[in-house]
Chain A
Amino acid sequence: MWYFVAPKVVFGQDALSHLAELKGRSAFIVTDKNIVSLGFVDKVREQLSQAGIQTAVFDEIESDPSLQTVQKGVAVMNQYGPDLVVAVGGGSVMDAAKAMRVQYERPDIKPEEINPFISDLGLGAKCKLVCVTTTSGTGAEATFAIILTDTADQRKLSLINREVVPDIAIVDPELARVMPPQITADTGMDALTHAVEGYTCAWKNDFADGLCIKAIQIVFKYLSRAVKNGNDMEARERMHNAGCIGGIGFINALSSMAHAAGHSLGALFHVPHGRAVGMFLPYTIEYIGEAREELWAEIAYAIKLEVPEGKRAATVLAQAIRGLAREINQPLSIEQMGISLDSFNKAMEKLVDNVMSDGSLIVSARIPSVAESEKFFNYTYEGKSIDF
């Protein structure tokens, strides 16, 4: 037995206007200062005011939001008492909003205690959650995962519960138009990683597979265009869709080893999430290799890659992903991320420790030992293809 969970998705040009059709009394807008400065929060407030909904704004979400930030936001939310929570931003904003909403509705559950085994969160009684995504790739607008940073323990917490899924996801490509090329590339690689891992992890399933394959196809066709020309609205729209489609696909199967490694690196070196997981993706494909050879071949076929006689599909796919990353100026190794060998070596024990305890690792088709994890990180530092 398993479940397939997704929010109501409103997508395409003018999707933001759906906010004017919402029912409610007051909305608590969760966002960050950059999104406010871009004028997106004003647009959201305008739509909500047409629906007669009052608004308050909490704009203190940082990149890689911490437990402390969530608690601060909840305190403000409690004073305001909204019946709608509207997250406007990227993955960090939407994840923080999901966690804040849980604690607002269930003050007895601390954010770090959110787990997949609670079957009666009872969310929705006090408020609904609407996620308006401004980036194309995290999929957070459509997932029931929350990534928070435990700053004290220098690790990322992957918190999952099906009830945490937003009620509505707004996927309006206009909001992605001003996204800088670097963020377009980072979040696009996140979308690709979600989709590849969702299609190949141990919990893959028929309901998620089609979404993952579609997202992979869109990313390979449109990511480069969206990075090179932000005003290419066809590419923007398709990538915005791919992020959401990949999000729904992977969350119903789960992400895997590239995410475990990416969370680990990100928590220690503050590398943007999508950049980290995207860099690790081809290495994990090589590492998992044989255990998923048929599936790598299926992905290769879906994106029209030729797998020459005698060559492994894993190798061909990993090379194609590196090719795409190169095209959009993404780093291909930890070294290329500007992390010094000295600081990398000093962090190795914690890097391995984090990856071994990451929830995403349990669905990897091949799970490394401590020694293999260390070797894996060393290879990825140097940019050396995995051969073990």
Chain B
Amino acid sequence: MAILFGSQEWVDALKKVLETSQPYKEAAKKWEGDLYIIVEPDASYKNRHVLYLDLWHGECREARVITDENEKSPKYRIFGPFTNMKQILDKKVDPVQSMMTGRIKVKGDMAQIMKMPRAAVELVNCMTGFETVFPD
């Protein structure tokens, strides 16, 4: 059954996939740091979503929808307009190319990402590892 993107159920589903994905565990075995995925409103969707993931050495310690953006001070913030996020999850565009062209932006310790680029790729692969329905 398709799960609504941006909902707590969607984040729970992602956590489950992260917990079972061997490629993610291998790629992120040294990853240390939590992150916000911030979906910004655009012409096709007017709401803002903030999803929180606490990722540590290949494990997902916490995953939930955030209502108050000031609640946490995550190591990374990945943000971009809804349409661009949707294109990534639909596998229509490459996530790293999206970041390299500024369609998706990342703030945080870039040296760690450069040391573990596959962790970021496998994280996105996990996001596409279950059926998603979009709210637009």
Contacts of B3 in A (CB 8 A): none
Q: Does A16 contact B (CB under 8 A)?
A: no
Asked if A357 and B106 make an inter-chain contact with CB atoms under 8 angstroms apart, the answer reads no
Q: Does A361 contact B (CB under 8 A)?
A: yes
Asked if A2 and B118 make an inter-chain contact with CB atoms under 8 angstroms apart, the answer reads no
Which of A113, A158, A356 has the most chain B CB atoms closer than 10 A to its own CB?
A356
Asked if A203 and B118 make an inter-chain contact with CB atoms under 8 angstroms apart, the answer reads no
Contact pick for A2, options B22, B101, B114, B117, CB 8 Å: B101
> Total interface residues on A, using CB and 8 Å?
25
Contact pick for B115, options A1, A110, A357, A362, CB 8 Å: A357
Asked if A1 and B110 make an inter-chain contact with CB atoms under 8 angstroms apart, the answer reads no
Q: Does B26 contact A (CB under 8 A)?
A: yes
Q: List residues of B (27-74) whose CB comes within 8 Å of A's CBs.
A: 27, 30
Contacts of B94 in A (CB 8 A): 202-203
Main secondary structure of the interface of A (DSSP, over half): loop
Contact pick for B114, options A115, A202, A367, A370, CB 8 Å: A115
Docked pose: A2 CA to B117 CA in angstroms: 19
Contact pick for B110, options A117, A202, A357, A359, CB 8 Å: A117
Q: Does A388 contact B (CB under 8 A)?
A: no
Q: List residues of B (107-126) whose CB comes within 8 Å of A's CBs.
A: 110-111, 113-118, 121
Contact pick for A115, options B30, B103, B113, CB 8 Å: B113
Q: List residues of A (308-337) whose CB comes within 8 Å of B's CBs.
A: none
Which 10 pairs from chain A and chain B are nearest by CB?
A116-B100, A115-B110, A359-B117, A370-B26, A362-B121, A1-B101, A115-B114, A119-B102, A117-B99, A362-B117
Other than A112-B111, A357-B27, give 20 A-B pairs with Cβ distance below 8 A.
Answer: A1-B101, A2-B97, A2-B101, A110-B111, A112-B114, A113-B114, A115-B110, A115-B111, A115-B114, A117-B100, A117-B106, A157-B115, A158-B114, A203-B97, A357-B116, A357-B117, A359-B117, A361-B117, A369-B22, A370-B26
